[in-house]
Amino acid sequence: MAHPDAPLRPGEVRLSPDPATRSDATLTFIGRIRSPWSSEDCPKNIGEARARATPARLEIDTPFRPALQGLAPGDAVILLYWTGRARRDLAIQSPRHKPAPTGTFALRSPARPNPIALGVVRILSLDPDTGAVEIDATDAFDGTPLLDIKPFLPGVDIPPG
């Protein structure tokens, strides 16, 4: 993940003003993601993370543990998490895997105006008393703040056609 002060790659275009300098929304972290990953060895995406067959754990903070009611092992859930160490000022990016510069909204890169990442994972085990939720995989760094958990609903979350 590129540091916010890293030089731009050819073809990249900055946003002005940098969204990181504004504060017009308030979010509450509900816990954190525990994984073996750091910036040196983190998978590029959830598919690569699954290929490494390395489960991870969610640690849900005490006030939010009752909200786990209704979830169970085997359930697929959508995680929203905060990739706050990523740069936030790019409108156009030049990813190494694309032949040309590409708009941020056409990429799954963590560099975005609001560094909110999304992962669809499967619950392996769940302890609502301790707030520990084991998941099949993640592409998040260890300690990444967790914003929300939503159930994955195939009839709702898959576009028609």
pLDDT, mean of residues 82-91: 91
Higher-pLDDT residue of 91 and 19 is: 91
- Which pLDDT score is estimated for 42? 86
Predicted pLDDT at 1 = 55
Round to whole Å and give the CA distance between 86 and 114: 10
* Residue 123 lies inside a defined structural domain of this protein: yes
Q: Is residue 23 part of a domain?
A: no
Is 3 within a domain? Answer: no
Domain count, the chain: 1
Q: What are phi and psi for residue 46, nearest 5 degrees?
A: -65, -30
Answer whether residue 128 is part of any domain.
Answer: yes
Q: Which domain holds residue 127?
A: 31-85+116-153
Q: Is residue 55 part of a domain?
A: yes
pLDDT at 118: 94
Q: Is position 144 within any domain?
A: yes
Is the pLDDT confidence value at 15 over 90? no
Question: What is this structure's pTM?
Answer: 0.85
Q: What are 148's two structure tokens?
A: 């929300």
Q: Would 39 be classed as within a structural domain?
A: yes
Q: What is the mean pLDDT of the chain?
A: 91
pLDDT digits (tens, 9 = 90+) for 43-84: 888 888 899 999 999 999 999 999 999 999 999 999 999 998
Please report, for the domain that includes residue 35, its CATH number: 2.40.30.70
In a domain, 12, yes or no: no
Would you say residue 14 has pLDDT above 90? no
3-state secondary structure 21-41: HCCCCCCCCCEEEECCCCCCC
> How far, in Å, CA of 14 to CA of 8, rounded?
8
Least confident interval from 3-7, 14-18, 86-90: 3-7
* For residues 112-124, average pLDDT: 95
Distance CA 1, CA 39 (A): 7
Q: How far apart are CA 17 and CA 158, in angstroms?
A: 35
User: In whole angstroms, what is the distance from residue 88 CA to residue 112 CA?
Assistant: 5
